[in-house]
Amino acid sequence: MSNNMTTKDYPYLLTREQAARFLGIDPKSFDKYIRSHNHLDRFMIGRQERYTIKSLINFIESKSV
């Protein structure tokens, strides 16, 4: 997937649901396997977590086996 296509289809700060959709997984799986890690960079807006595409890609690449 090209970076231009991803940035065009999503806002800069993604919600939990958008982040899960970007990764192609269910939001509950995102919570259990991705969001629970402290290594995932997040941006807080009040009490709401937001994620960037770059932080999601970096996290997935760093955890790949």
Please say if the pLDDT value at position 1 is more than 70: no
d(CA 65, CA 61): 9
Q: Please classify residue 58 by burial: count the beta carbons closer than 10 Å to its beta carbon, then call 0-12 exposed, 13-18 middle and 19+ buried.
A: middle
pLDDT of residue 65: 84
Per residue in 16-27, pLDDT (tens digit) is: 999 999 999 999
CB burial of 9-36 (b: ≥16 within 10 Å; e: otherwise) equals: ebeebbbbebbbbbbeeeeeebeeebbe
Per residue in 19-52, pLDDT (tens digit) is: 999 999 999 999 999 999 999 999 999 999 999 9
